């Protein structure tokens, strides 16, 4: 198949218009049929708080589930995870792991009947299973939040509908739509799988028209039976930030200080907060994150990632309906961590203060840190202000998130320097 850029339409500016795309444009994600939100069931609208002593369920067994469980157990809850791996990170901090597939609604309902409330730690939970569970226990955030955010096409349609500025984008379900999308959006652009992508997986950047063939071979050919692809305009951004926020059962929101994020090979490498951005941008990012949680009807914690353009505008990149890697520094640096906040929100308790008590930086520890042998944790911990979090994963593969280091210090620059120094020492200079 030969791809060519159709000359019929001039490329639009590199960001999403605040107005919805033209009616009848089949490539527009806004023209997707969005099923009405699932009707709220009796249990998801329950307003009584779930108090300590009760059992909370967490779907997924990764590090986010482990840190949620640690926060919840400290507060006196019992926590049970559902994961397809018995030796998952959450197994180290939960009371129990149900080793089961999350794909089977019947199994999940049988397991979840004993939960007083349930949440999830990743967004690729089958919505049918989450909906079935929500019929017997409150699932927070609700299945409709999962439905919207687990698919880039639906998420962007939601953002467009609510006039939240995001990157220009088009759904792609065929070679013809790919051609038309490139013609509409222009190059450079990035082709992404609509579902199941993370840490840059399922993404191909297109610099020039000649890259289209390769991108299509990589993603288009295998998309049959999947949620399809999304083509996004490439943003020559100034920086990337993320905002973790919570929304309670009563609709109250609490927003953390935005983190400035640095990626390496598409994987989050370093986060710092405060971001050092002008107060106006910080305030707008916080307002937008809060408004997105409100519009989505989130009860729980979610993270909104933004691109900050060179002219100071904020474009939403993506929404995660759960705590986020960039929010790990809240454990040491804020009055309430993102995980305690998740417990409070999911249980219908008052939200905690998000006040940051110290500048902080977080450095991810990937499997790459084992390149020169077992890391020297003692050397890392000799750096003042540094805390170590390891997730208990056994095989340190390159690119795999094994843990993180957080540094608190008098300034963000000092915190960043300390986190990097600690990681460099731990990895014996393999990761700097």
- In the complex, the residues that contact ligand AMP under the rule CB under 6 A are 167, 190, 197, 200, 232, 234-235, 240, 263, 266, 305, 317-318
What secondary structure does DSSP assign to 87-150, as a single string?
T-GGGGTSSEEEE--TT-HHHHHHHHTT-SEEEESSS-S-HHHHHHHHTTS-BSS-HHHHHHHT
Of the pair 328, 425, the CB lying nearest ligand AMP is at 328
CB of 267 to ligand AMP, least distance (A): 8
- The residue at minimum Cβ distance from ligand AMP is 235
The residue among 87 and 236 lying less far from ligand AMP, judged by its C-beta, is 236
- Gap between the Cα atoms of 259 and 267, Å rounded: 15
Of residues 77 and 306, the one with the C-beta less far from ligand AMP: 306
Beta carbon of residue 156, minimum distance to ligand AMP (angstroms, whole number): 11
Minimum distance, C-beta of residue 296 to ligand AMP, in the bound complex (Å):
18
**Choice between 16 and 30, CB closer to ligand AMP:** 16
The CB-of-125 to ligand AMP minimum distance in angstroms stands at: 18
The residue (of 126 and 233) whose beta carbon lies closer to ligand AMP is 233
- Output 257 or 305, the one with its CB closest to ligand AMP: 305
Q: How far apart are CA 78 and CA 266, in angstroms?
A: 36
254 alpha-carbon distance from chain centroid: 17
CB of 88 to ligand AMP, least distance (A): 23
Please provide residue 102's backbone torsions phi and psi, each rounded to the nearest 5 degrees: -85, 0
**DSSP code, position 195:** B
CA angle 174, 235, 172 (to 5 degrees): 10
How far is the C-alpha of 385 from the C-alpha of 45, rounded, in Å? Answer: 43
Q: 432 to each of 131, 180, 264, 274, 411, how far by Cα in Å? A: 44, 42, 11, 22, 20
Q: Min. distance of Cβ 165 from ligand AMP in angstroms? A: 13
CB burial of residue 191 (10 Å; 0-12, 13-18, 19+): buried
């Amino acid at each position: 198949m030969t791809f060519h850029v159709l000359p019929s339409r001039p490329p639009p500016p590199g960001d999403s218009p605040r107005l919805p795309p033209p009616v009848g444009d089949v490539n527009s994600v806004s023209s997707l049929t969005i099923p009405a939100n699932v009707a709220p069931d009796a249990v998801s609208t329950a307003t009584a708080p779930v108090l300590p002593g009760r059992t909370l369920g967490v779907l997924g067994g990764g590090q986010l589930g482990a840190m949620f469980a640690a926060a919840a157990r400290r507060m006196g809850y019992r926590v049970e995870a559902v994961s397809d791996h018995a030796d998952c990170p959450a197994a180290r901090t939960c009371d129990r792991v149900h080793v089961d597939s999350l794909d089977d609604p019947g199994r999940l309902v049988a397991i979840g009947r004993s939960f007083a409330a349930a949440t999830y730690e990743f967004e690729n939970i089958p919505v049918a299973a989450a909906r079935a569970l929500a019929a017997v226990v409150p699932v927070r955030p609700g299945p409709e939040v999962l439905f919207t955010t687990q698919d880039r096409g639906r998420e962007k349609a939601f953002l467009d509908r609510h006039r939240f500025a995001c990157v220009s984008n088009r759904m792609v379900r065929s070679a013809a739509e790919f051609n038309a999308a490139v013609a509409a959006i222009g190059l450079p652009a990035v082709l992404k799988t609509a579902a199941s992508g993370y840490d840059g997986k399922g993404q191909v950047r297109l610099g020039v028209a000649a890259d289209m063939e390769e991108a299509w071979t990589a993603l288009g050919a295998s998309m049959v039976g999947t949620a399809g692809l999304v083509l996004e305009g490439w943003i020559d951004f100034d920086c990337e930030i993320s905002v973790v926020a919570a929304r309670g059962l009563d609709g109250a929101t609490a927003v953390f200080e935005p983190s400035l994020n640095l990626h390496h090979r598409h994987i989050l490498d370093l986060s710092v907060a405060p971001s050092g951005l002008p107060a106006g941008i910080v305030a707008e990012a916080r307002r937008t994150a809060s408004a997105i949680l409100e519009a989505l009807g989130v009860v729980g914690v979610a993270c909104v990632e933004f691109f900050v353009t060179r002219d100071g505008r904020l474009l939403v990149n993506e929404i995660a309906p759960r705590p986020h890697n960039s929010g790990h520094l809240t454990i040491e640096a804020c009055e309430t961590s993102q995980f305690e906040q998740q417990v409070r929100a999911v249980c219908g308790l008052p939200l905690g203060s998000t006040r940051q008590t110290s500048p902080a930086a977080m450095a991810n520890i990937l499997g790459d840190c084992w390149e020169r042998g077992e890391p020297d944790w003692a050397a890392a911990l000799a750096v003042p202000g540094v805390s170590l979090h390891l997730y208990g994963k056994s095989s340190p593969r390159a690119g795999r998130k094994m843990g993180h280091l957080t540094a608190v210090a008098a300034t963000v620059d000092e915190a960043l320097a300390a986190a990097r120094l600690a990681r460099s020492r731990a990895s014996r200079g393999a990761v700097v």
